[in-house]
Amino acid sequence: MGKKKVGVLGATGAVGQRICHMLRDHSWYEVTELTAGPSAGKAYGEAVSSLLPDGVPEKLKGLIVKPSTPTGMDVDFVFSALPSNVAMEVEPEFAKSGIPVVSNASAFRMEADVPLVVPEVNPDHIELIRPQRKSREWEGFIATDPNCSTISLVIVLKPLQRILTMKKVFVTTMQAISGAGYPGLPSLDILENVIPYIGGEEKKIQTEILKILGRLEGGSVRNAPFVVAASCNRVPVVDGHLEAVYLEIKEKVDLDEVKEAFKSFKGKAQELGLPTSPMVPVILREEQDRPQTRLDRMAGSVAGMSVSVGRVRHGIDKRSLQFVALGHNTIRGAAGGAISLAELLSAEGWI
């Protein structure tokens, strides 16, 4: 059986480029259509100024970039790496015309009938596609993956949710500049600096976590029953979001059980052997000073797809837990997150 034909919407942006790059030798998918706003009409190789060390995949260089519309597009599904305001308009057009959209944009993430899914964490939420199709009368659908700082967090909270009752989650992020896209942050703003603010980010973390870790009940998701407060900071590193996490727990916490839960964690993605999912989703570091951004961001059997966790310790008492988590924001947190979601949808027969 041949590979599925795939379009990438917003292919010239930072996430779009990374998706094209990660799909260059994909065993299930072949990129056959690329879209972008301003550069439609150009060959991809000319339209894009590559941000990645090994550049634009050779076989995509000659592909002509199209405008972001489903008309005349011959694909099995599309990835959307569109800006949120554009995604708001464009993604429903694709879904309506029968083309499934696997989206990294934030536009529809929090809609009640749109799945917001990490294959390791809440694969069952893809069932939301059914009510979505029904109520919106779409032949296709929209499925989304979370924000780059949400995703590492839910991957490490999921194994904890299985063994204990979280009451409060406090997270302080130290996020890389690539999370802001390209051109993104002016260098004068961030070199030799830390900026304690990222527009919209704290809200996204606080709401997305509760949906993803929520329970699917009767065709809708009931939010997870704890509270989240986030404080987001931009630091001068290229890739990798490091997050200092503090949890208040209902029960007394045994640190060895916590470590064991991290180490042994597997999700549906591992059961199904999805090609872009790492064999070990959570890598536990026992050294006192790991994970570190530069050393650990590419961790995992699929490079950049594992989340590293370390400095597991109690907080003010035994009913609290502190640790540090690190994920690659443009791989696990964006392009790889979307691709592994597509793979889940393929494996489950949705695309």
In three-state secondary structure terms, 115 is coil
The C-alpha atoms of residue 183 and residue 18 are separated, in whole angstroms, by 15
Considering only the stretches 21-29, 112-120, 124-132, 317-325, report the one whose residues sit in contact with its own copies under the rule CB under 8 A: 317-325
- Binding to its own copies by residue 242, rule CB under 8 A? yes
Burial class (CB in 10 A: 0-12, 13-18, 19+), 61: middle
Catalytic member of 21, 125, 241, 328? 241
Residue 171: partners with Cβ closer than 8 Å, 6 or more residues away:
153, 205, 228, 229, 230, 231, 243, 244, 245, 246
Taking CB under 8 A as the criterion, the residue among 25, 256, 316, 349 binding its own copies is 316
The yes-or-no answer on residue 148 being catalytic is yes
The C-alpha atoms of residue 183 and residue 141 are separated, in whole angstroms, by 31
The C-alpha atoms of residue 326 and residue 153 are separated, in whole angstroms, by 9
Taking CB under 8 A as the criterion, the residue among 64, 191, 255, 279 binding its own copies is 191
The C-alpha atoms of residue 149 and residue 208 are separated, in whole angstroms, by 10
Taking CB under 8 A as the criterion, the residue among 112, 194, 255, 279 binding its own copies is 194
- Binding to its own copies by residue 188, rule CB under 8 A? yes
Per this entry, what is the length of the chain? 351
Amino acid letter, 41: G
Cβ-contact 114, 132 below 8 angstroms: yes
Cβ-contact 51, 17 below 8 angstroms: yes
Tally the C-alpha atoms within 13 A of residue 129's C-alpha that lie toward its C-beta: 22
- Binding to its own copies by residue 186, rule CB under 8 A? yes
The C-alpha atoms of residue 19 and residue 17 are separated, in whole angstroms, by 5
The C-alpha atoms of residue 228 and residue 176 are separated, in whole angstroms, by 22
- Binding to its own copies by residue 183, rule CB under 8 A? yes
- Binding to its own copies by residue 193, rule CB under 8 A? yes
Cβ-contact 11, 65 below 8 angstroms: yes
- Binding to its own copies by residue 25, rule CB under 8 A? no
Considering only the stretches 92-100, 153-161, 190-198, 215-223, report the one whose residues sit in contact with its own copies under the rule CB under 8 A: 190-198
- Binding to its own copies by residue 212, rule CB under 8 A? no
Taking CB under 8 A as the criterion, the residue among 133, 237, 259, 260 binding its own copies is 237
Considering only the stretches 70-78, 133-141, 261-269, 284-292, report the one whose residues sit in contact with its own copies under the rule CB under 8 A: 284-292
Considering only the stretches 1-9, 91-99, 169-177, 213-221, report the one whose residues sit in contact with its own copies under the rule CB under 8 A: 169-177
Taking CB under 8 A as the criterion, the residue among 311, 319, 348, 350 binding its own copies is 311
- Binding to its own copies by residue 58, rule CB under 8 A? no
Question: In terms of CB distance, is 99 or 331 closer to its own copies?
Answer: 331
Question: In terms of CB distance, is 54 or 74 closer to its own copies?
Answer: 54
Among all residues, which ones are annotated catalytic?
148, 241
Binding residues for its own copies (CB under 8 A)? 14, 50-54, 168, 170, 172, 174, 177-178, 182-197, 227-229, 231, 233, 235-238, 240, 242, 244, 246, 288-299, 310-311, 315-317, 320, 322, 324
